[in-house]
Amino acid sequence: DVNTLAAELGMTLRSLQKRFYQFDTTPREWMAQRRLERTRRKLDDPLLASRSIKQIAFDCGFRDFSHFSRSFKSAFGLSPRAYRP
């Protein structure tokens, strides 16, 4: 979470937010985008073809599959099922 990220970087939450605002985003949005990208890479990985989309999403930190699916489609233009080869 964002508080943990700030602590690991040795800064306050407010200073972390200020740094992200310079790039027109928030720490939470940045983390969500990284999580979506990690999930997309795993969906592309032939070694993970036997794992379900739901399990990959949960492994990447999503707790609600419906939310993941909507977020993925919004970010990449396809549902996770349509995206996966």
- Number of Cβ within 10 Å of residue 68's Cβ equals 22
Q: What pLDDT, on a 0 to 100 scale, did the predictor assign at position 37? A: 97
What pLDDT is stored for residue 71 in this prediction? 96
Task: Judge if pTM exceeds 0.95.
Answer: no
What DSSP string runs through 10-46? TS-HHHHHHHHHTTT--HHHHHHHHHHHHHHHHHH-G
The 10s digit of each residue's pLDDT in 32-77 is: 999 999 999 999 999 999 999 999 999 999 999 999 999 999 999 9
- Where residue 85 falls among pLDDT bands split at 50, 70, 90? confident
1 confidence band (pLDDT: 50, 70, 90): confident
Is residue 10's pLDDT more than 80? yes
**Two tokens, residue 60:** 């990447």
